[in-house]
Structure 1
Amino acid sequence: MEESFPLDNNVELSRISIYPIKSTAPTHQSRAWVENKGLAFDRRFVVTEPDGTFMTARKHPKLARVDATLTADGLLLSAPGQTPLAVRYTDFSDRYQPVQVWSDHFQGLYCCSDYDQWFSDYLDQPCQLLFMGEQAIRSIEAPGKQVSFADAYPLLLISEASLEGLNARLSEPVKMERFRPNIVVNGCDSFAEDSWKTIRIGEVTFEVINPCSRCIFTTLDPANGKFDENREPLATLQKFRRGTDEDSQNDVFFGQNLVPLNEGLIKQGDRVEILETQPPVNYIDHSLAESLPASESKPVHQSRIKNQSNRLAWTKGQQLNLRCVRVIEETADVKTFRFQTETDHHVDYQPGQYLTLLLNIDGNEIRRCYTLSSSPTRLGHFSITVKRVTDGLVSNWLHDNLQEGSRVEAIAPEGEFHWYAADKTDKALLLSAGSGITPMLSMARYLSDTQSEAKTVFMHSARTEADLISRTELDLLAKQHSQLSLAYTLTGDTSSHWQGGSGRLDKQRLLEVVPDISEYTVFVCGPAAFMESAKKLVMELGVPEQRYFEESFGFNSGPVKEAEKEVSLLFDSWDTHVMGNNQRTILEQGEDAGLDMAYSCRAGICGQCKVKVVSGEYQSFADDALSEQEKSENYVLACSCRPLSDMVIEAG
């Protein structure tokens, strides 16, 4: 947990609402006393059937048009076609009788037969009005806490920005009244409240318990008492605020349920202090599956969502500050780092592309590329998954230093290896080993989120069962998406209960999992030796080269076999001549000479360091970022090329 984010410093309480009778219209207040059960006077009355079963506007929409005004001795009720009714505490009986709200059974105080008749006439059926008297005790899961006749929790909070974010997706915007919050706040980003754990408003500290599950009530227009024929805004919420695990995947969430930790006064304009945060739910944006035209081969994801339209695009080559908002321990030596931009830029990328981090380690600027393991369908944040490598400078620094709240710089996502690198993919094999799983995670999440029709097999090799990254989530994705199937192979020792494959990848294992592999488009990522073997195997099994795509995690330069010798390096475009050697890369030797040479990943992936060899011999370790024509014209990647003789080099 961490202290409040600086961007939340100006959050304030903008509206307070109580609902004196459950399911009826709200009354707004400039201040309110907070009790154990919630706001004073909030949902202290309920209309029930004669047997005590609560009545709700979900089934009786006319209830939402009942106005209840607080008076010195009770309430003043009004409703269309009804004579106003004064409800006085002095008229109440002293008789408690059973009441049921959802699955909760407790006692409510019977009020008066005149009130029953008023509601019965209005709703055209027998009913009664009950009050939550002193003997009415309804407990909730939080120890020592109670709730009134509200659905489940004492209070509901929603930010104005979250409503704006929802309305940006709707053809007809809706008002806050649709969601019946007690507390409305402003001055924060949309859905910022998803990450709040403990807050303080005025004299009261609140615990944020969980997101509020929404229902058909949100489609009821309180102004006319009619349900929206298109089920809005619930239909839109279902597309981007649906639960992500098996227990909640049929639920839709908007707003946060609160429990007060003490009694006290809150006032309109009070500052909202974010005392403690928590990882927000990673909601999936299912609307993207509908927004992609069948003819489009390389969709732009977030920019299709209307509430992103006013945000700036993070363009290629642009550097931005990122904030780490969550660190997830995947395995003993693998962590996932989740980020958000510090500015109002949206992050658009293809599943499988990489991000370049700009890090300052021991006073040196270090650049490293990491594939995004998140999916572009999951808006608002993005992730990299990093394996700690023995003696690895950057991976060890990230594992040891990057925490929730840490800031880093990064260059916008890019890369030629991604799902849409193939023109059309009806059948796909995602083949990975070790930390090469990360682009495949992005693709698998994307394909499941968008319910892609492509038949996809995800084969992953790891050393042991404990080294399988994101296995639980992948199993869930495969259950949710019938077109995705999984196959794991362990190369180390296996236990007696292991049901998957074992040993190194071979033709038998490939054909066992994908008998018709020659019909598949194949995406491969992993260590150099794995990739070399995988390419040979799938080619021999009939996969044409135009349907084979690979991404290597770093290149394998291998040991320098030549004895060290001095070579002359003329960096012609920079008007610089240096005496170098045949042991280090062109990029390293150019930097040693003080040259400002373009680069990004330093791993032979991005192509930013492309240069042309005018003359001389060289050894290249990686050239996948170059076209065949560029290779034929002696273009090389400076980060992945060593000189073997005197050379003349021009900028690419």
Structure 2
Amino acid sequence: MMDDMMRQMGAPPRKELYPSLMEVEAFTPDKRQQFERLARERMKSGTALMSSGLEKLSAPSSEQDLPAMREATALMRQGVVQFDTGISSLQAISEGKPPRAVALDWFKQNMSLLPSADMQRPHGIFGLSGFHYFTMFLLLAFAATMIWINLKKMQRAQALAARLTPQPGAVLPERTLTPAAQSIPPSLLPEDAPSKSNAWTGLLRVVQIFEESPNVVTLRLTDPSGGSLPFRHLPGQFVTFTVKPNDQMVKRSYTIASSPTRRDYVEVTVKREEHGTVSGFLHSVRVGDTLQTTGPSGNFTFVGDGANSIVLISGGVGITPMMSVVRYLTDRSWPSDIFFIFGCRGEKDVIYREELEYLQRRHPNLHLAITAIDVASADWPYARGNITKELLSQAVPHIEIRRVHLCGPKPMMDALKPVLIELGVPLEQIKTEIFIGKERPATPPTLAEGVTGSEQSQPTTTPVEGAETAGVAVATFARSKRTALFPPSKTLLEVSEDVGVNIDYSCRVGTCGVCKVKLLSGSVTMEVQDSLDAADKENNIILACQAKTRGDVSVDA
């Protein structure tokens, strides 16, 4: 339509100006004149189109003819484009641009490929903006961090491989354990070292009391000033309470049942014994009361080192150190097998039952076995009777290769220790702590049999009258210049309390070492000597809470 209109106006046919330029490598004088003529013709045809469109738009008949108005504006627009491209071509040719560059500029302009005039020019090195530099910096920092992390992982892997590689000549056990138990884990001690034995004495406040059974309660204690406890302990250690129930200062030790990972409190579980002075007193405390406490102390501990599994056997309230251990190991996600064996009198005496069953469901490596002697319920899901060889064999596969901790009343300990040895457990793999089930009532100091009042007021080291005829040994406390009958049923500590000789003590079970005294003459037997080292034994140091008579003795107390 456009060519017909131009022919009607007498204009020559439109030349394909810019496609023709693509075929020309360089302008010769003839070519330059030819393309200048074509550019002027394009300007002329553009002027004609604009004039035609303006005439049609100005015609009176077109005021109401919208299609005619649209056609007129299209002619004017086409004329402007042709006129503009003609001018641009003349300018480019006069500036000496190559023909193909002139054609490409035209194509870019008509295809909207040329950058706009207001576009920001690149700046900086290599024409990059500040945003580009910032992005590149972040990427480089990320890459450097990832390289550093991978190097650290490689170093840790090499160190672990070195630890796990058997040393030349090392003999590996033939028995195959579960995958989690084949390697001994690294130390699982608390973040800071535990406090020294009995390094702290002060007040702790009772903040909660839990009833575990009709005659067993758990006391939760915190620092009255708030915050973390003033000492750090290991699982299995104990604290000592100093109380004054009957105007007489008495000390008793109780194992910490809570985990050392719980830094804001400790829990002790107390069974009320018949005629028990301290246990009865502790059952009468209320929330808000304070207790004078010394601790921590004790060597009956386990933190996961030195064993590829652990067997925890307990009876009665002897469960408390085992509970601290199992809470600690599960809190720290210890991966190896934990066998928890507990025996008690009746179903209602299973302390911590709900928590133990919950922990077993949550931790597949915790294996729980409970037995009770007096069970009337038909729904009882556990074993019945005492802890026996058969129960241990069934509950703990390959018990002979495992570490065993044993705590409970003395009759239970005496019965189970030979059973463990019979099952093949080496004696050095059995660690024990005796639980004193019957608390000795606290009584004021009394005169020993055969000692007269005058003798008591004027102490002497003379043997007690009537001792030989009665066939009872005599204990002499050299520093205090007092003597007392020493019957086989009592310990040296109990005899000292009878005559008012002050021998300091804490645990009364032979583990803390507070009651050490020097044996000057005679000999004694001691069932537990855990807190005595080789130097103590060489210097005739004995534990007053464990020492029982083998004849007359004299001690430095």
TM-score of Structure 1 vs Structure 2, range by shorter chain: 0.5 to 0.7
CA distance in 2, matches of 1:590, 1:332: 35
Structure 1 residue 385 corresponds to structure 2 residue 269? yes
Q: Which residue of structure 2 aligns with residue 529 of structure 1? A: 411
Q: Which residue of structure 1 aligns with residue 545 of structure 2? A: 639
Structure 1 residue 369 corresponds to structure 2 residue 235? no
Deviation digits for residues 464-514 of structure 1 (CA, Å, limit 9, x no counterpart): 222111111111111222211111111113422222111122111111111
Deviation digits for residues 74-112 of structure 1 (CA, Å, limit 9, x no counterpart): xxxxxxxxxxxxxxxxxxxxxxxxxxxxxxxxxxxxxxx
Deviation digits for residues 436-467 of structure 1 (CA, Å, limit 9, x no counterpart): 11111111111111110121110111222221
Query: What are the within-5 Å matches in structure 2 for residues 431-510 of structure 1?
Result: 431-510=313-392
Structure 1 residue 603 corresponds to structure 2 residue 509? yes
3-state DSSP of counterpart to 1:364: coil
Does structure 2 retain, via aligned residues, the 8 Å contact 1:526–1:553? Answer: yes
Does structure 1 retain, via aligned residues, the 8 Å contact 2:257–2:321? Answer: yes
Structure 1 residue 405 corresponds to structure 2 residue 310? no
CA distance in 2, matches of 1:397, 1:341: 21
Distance 1:565 1:627, change over 3 A: same
Q: Which residue of structure 1 aligns with residue 198 of structure 2? A: 316
Structure 1: which amino acid aligns with 2:425?
A: V
Deviation digits for residues 554-578 of structure 1 (CA, Å, limit 9, x no counterpart): 28899xxx99556554434x26343
Query: What are the within-5 Å matches in structure 2 for residues 37-48 of structure 1?
Result: none
Q: Which residue of structure 2 aligns with residue 119 of structure 1? A: none
CA distance in 2, matches of 1:430, 1:579: 41
CA distance in 2, matches of 1:630, 1:545: 23
Shift of 1:593: 4.9
Distance 1:563 1:448, change over 3 A: farther
Deviation digits for residues 207-261 of structure 1 (CA, Å, limit 9, x no counterpart): xxxxxxxxxxxxxxxxxxxxxxxxxxxxxxxxxxxxxxxxxxxxxxxxxxxxxxx
Distance 1:588 1:529, change over 3 A: closer
Distance 1:411 1:428, change over 3 A: same
Deviation digits for residues 386-406 of structure 1 (CA, Å, limit 9, x no counterpart): 11112222112211x211111
Q: Which residue of structure 2 aligns with residue 416 of structure 1? A: 299
| Alignment coverage as a number of residue pairs | 344
Query: What are the within-5 Å matches in structure 2 for residues 19-418 of structure 1?
Result: 295-296=186-187, 299-301=189-191, 316-343=198-225, 345-399=229-283, 401-418=284-301
CA distance in 1, matches of 2:387, 2:275: 27
CA distance in 2, matches of 1:525, 1:548: 11
Does structure 2 retain, via aligned residues, the 8 Å contact 1:570–1:649? Answer: yes
CA distance in 2, matches of 1:650, 1:434: 37
Shift of 1:346: 3.0
Deviation digits for residues 518-554 of structure 1 (CA, Å, limit 9, x no counterpart): 1110011111111111111111101111111111112
Q: Which residue of structure 1 aligns with residue 178 of structure 2? A: none
Distance 1:481 1:362, change over 3 A: same
Structure 1: which amino acid aligns with 2:362?
A: Q
Shift of 1:640: 2.5
Shift of 1:625: 3.3
Shift of 1:323: 0.3
Deviation digits for residues 379-430 of structure 1 (CA, Å, limit 9, x no counterpart): 201100111112222112211x21111111010111010114x851211111
Distance 1:628 1:491, change over 3 A: farther
CA distance in 1, matches of 2:200, 2:437: 25
CA distance in 2, matches of 1:370, 1:579: 29
Structure 1 residue 582 corresponds to structure 2 residue 465? no
Structure 2: gaps spanning 5 or more residues: 1-183, 441-467
Of the candidates 402, 424, 430, which is equivalent to residue 548 of structure 1? 430
Distance 1:454 1:346, change over 3 A: farther
Distance 1:564 1:551, change over 3 A: farther
Structure 2: which amino acid aligns with 1:609?
A: C
CA distance in 2, matches of 1:607, 1:579: 23
Distance 1:571 1:424, change over 3 A: same
Does structure 2 retain, via aligned residues, the 8 Å contact 1:301–1:376? Answer: no
Larger strand proportion of the pair: 1
3-state DSSP of counterpart to 2:287: coil
Structure 2: which amino acid aligns with 1:513?
A: A
CA distance in 1, matches of 2:504, 2:299: 18
Of the candidates 410, 420, 427, which is equivalent to residue 538 of structure 1? 420
Structure 2: which amino acid aligns with 1:452?
A: W
Larger Rg: 2
Distance 1:511 1:294, change over 3 A: closer
CA distance in 1, matches of 2:469, 2:397: 48
Does structure 2 retain, via aligned residues, the 8 Å contact 1:302–1:347? Answer: no
Identity, % of aligned pairs? 33
Structure 2: which amino acid aligns with 1:472?
A: E
CA distance in 2, matches of 1:613, 1:464: 44
Distance 1:374 1:515, change over 3 A: same
CA distance in 2, matches of 1:563, 1:428: 52
Does structure 1 retain, via aligned residues, the 8 Å contact 2:516–2:543? Answer: yes
CA distance in 2, matches of 1:388, 1:535: 27
3-state DSSP of counterpart to 2:282: helix
Q: Which residue of structure 2 aligns with residue 650 of structure 1? A: 556
Distance 1:635 1:557, change over 3 A: farther
Structure 2: which amino acid aligns with 1:392?
A: G
Structure 1: which amino acid aligns with 2:263?
A: L
3-state DSSP of counterpart to 1:337: strand
Shift of 1:314: 8.2
TM-score where L is the length of structure 1: 0.49
Q: Which residue of structure 2 aligns with residue 6 of structure 1? A: none
CA distance in 1, matches of 2:494, 2:199: 21
Distance 1:315 1:624, change over 3 A: closer
Deviation digits for residues 176-217 of structure 1 (CA, Å, limit 9, x no counterpart): xxxxxxxxxxxxxxxxxxxxxxxxxxxxxxxxxxxxxxxxxx
The RMSD of aligned alpha carbons is: 2.9
Does structure 1 retain, via aligned residues, the 8 Å contact 2:402–2:429? Answer: yes
Distance 1:482 1:437, change over 3 A: same
Larger helix proportion of the pair: 2
